[in-house]
């Protein structure tokens, strides 16, 4: 008989994130090869995991075409050398793709249908710009189902500034500078490097190379640097390239397991899943989505925001993070939030980012055994938010 079991996050890894451009580190690297690289590294790091014990593979991509198509979960599993008996599928929930891969695979593990699964996410925005090939139904606009600005994420961020005028551009810029500073500090202290999988690159002019660090960060960024940047989404607006995540390429992956199976195989237990929730909001203020999804996830767990000791909030836009913090009465510079910096500095390859948040949180849990609960949360295009609450298995084990 199936019974409810605890789900643990065994390990997460990612490629270094690149800039989505013809000169970016992954300009001539296939998206599916990025996924293969992180899958193989997970298996290399966990030799006690028999590959045939993996019950399913889910890989997310927002633009599911070309080298991000062909049911990428299954194709990446085959390309990674997993046994042909291991199935796979693809996921699309825009920015929360990898997050959804984790929650979708965790549910059958919880129910006793699966023991172990691989979740992943990839986005090669250099090869596949956001919105490539889409054909929005004309009813969206003809019947005024959404505001026209809902289809352009930068404009939804400007709309958030309109809704919360006290969350000024100056506050957004200050938050962005802090993200760059925290990322530089995390690199300096060796916090990020263990999560990264060195990834081969190829460029017609520069030849072959090896990506070992993220390409997007701009250490040393100042408020003065950001003050004069253009506001591309609105004349005299507040959203700039400096206080928003860039366009990026990269892949992430994680192993999930039932806790008893992790114990059986001697796998690490870096986080324990507590609850998760997704919620919808008005598409034209997409960035407020993490607020209701977090409220739902907290209610389902029987927790309050004061129980959360560490936050990993995806930084699609600084204003979106500030709106979340403001709602819950958390200071802009609260040291529980994004301790290693975030997407404004390292990048946001859309569907891959959810597992990056989880990997950061897992590392912070090890550093903070005094913290019992943490959460990962993000806004999602077309008006949604997603939140996953995790428990620290190291809680109370100081010394």
Q: What is the CA radius of gyration of the chain?
A: 20
Quick count: other Cβ atoms within 10 Å of Cβ 225? Answer: 15
* Relative orientation angle of helices 318-327 and 153-163, to the nearest 10 degrees: 40
The structure tokens 């129980």 sit at 307
394 is catalytic: no
Q: Cα-Cα-Cα-Cα dihedral of 123, 125, 131, 133, to 10°?
A: -90
Determine the Cα–Cα distance for residues 350 and 269; give it in Å rounded to an integer.
26
161 is catalytic: no
Catalytic residue among 124, 128, 368, 379: 379
Interior angle at CA 347, CA 105 and CA 131, nearest 5: 75
Interior angle at CA 298, CA 328 and CA 156, nearest 5: 55
Report strand pairing: 56-60 vs 116-124. parallel
Determine the Cα–Cα distance for residues 361 and 376; give it in Å rounded to an integer.
8
Catalytic residue among 95, 124, 128, 368: 95
Catalytic residue among 128, 348, 368, 394: 348
379 is catalytic: yes
Active site residues per annotation: 95, 348, 379
């Amino acid at each position: 008989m199936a019974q409810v079991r605890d789900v643990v996050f065994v390990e997460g890894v990612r490629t270094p994130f690149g800039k989505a451009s013809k000169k970016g580190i992954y300009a001539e690297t296939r998206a599916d090869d990025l996924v293969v690289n992180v899958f193989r590294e997970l298996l290399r790091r966990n030799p006690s995991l028999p590959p045939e014990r993996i019950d399913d593979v889910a890989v997310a991509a927002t633009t599911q075409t070309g080298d991000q198509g062909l049911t990428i979960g299954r194709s990446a599993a085959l390309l990674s050398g997993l046994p042909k008996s291991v199935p796979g599928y693809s996921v699309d929930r825009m920015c929360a793709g990898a997050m959804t891969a984790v929650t979708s695979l965790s549910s059958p593990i919880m129910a006793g249908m699966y023991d172990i699964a691989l979740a992943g996410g990839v986005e090669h925005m250099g090869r596949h710009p956001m919105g490539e090939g889409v054909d929005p139904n004309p009813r969206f606009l003809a019947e005024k189902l959404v505001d026209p600005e809902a289809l352009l994420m930068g404009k939804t961020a400007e709309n958030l500034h309109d809704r919360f005028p006290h969350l000024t551009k100056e506050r957004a810029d200050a938050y962005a500078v802090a993200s760059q500073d925290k990322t530089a500090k995390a690199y300096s202290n060796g916090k990020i490097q263990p999560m990264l999988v060195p990834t081969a690159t190829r460029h017609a002019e520069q030849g072959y190379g090896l990506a070992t660090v993220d390409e997007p960060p701009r250490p040393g960024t100042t408020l003065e640097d950001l003050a004069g940047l253009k506001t591309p989404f609105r004349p005299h607006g507040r959203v700039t390239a400096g206080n928003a995540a860039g366009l990026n390429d990269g892949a992430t992956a994680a192993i999930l397991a039932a806790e008893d199976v992790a114990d059986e195989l001697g796998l690490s237990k870096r986080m324990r899943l507590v609850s998760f929730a997704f919620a919808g909001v008005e598409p034209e203020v997409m960035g407020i989505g993490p607020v209701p999804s977090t409220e739902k996830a907290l209610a389902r767990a029987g927790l309050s925001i004061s129980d959360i000791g560490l936050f990993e909030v995806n930084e699609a836009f600084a204003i979106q993070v500030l709106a979340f913090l403001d709602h819950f009465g958390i200071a802009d510079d609260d040291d529980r939030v994004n301790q290693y910096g975030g997407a404004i500095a390292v990048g946001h390859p859309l569907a891959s980012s959810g597992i990056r948040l989880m990997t950061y949180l897992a590392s912070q849990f090890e550093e903070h055994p005094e913290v019992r609960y943490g959460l990962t949360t993000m806004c999602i295009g077309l008006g949604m938010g997603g939140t996953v609450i995790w428990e620290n298995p190291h809680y109370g084990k100081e010394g």
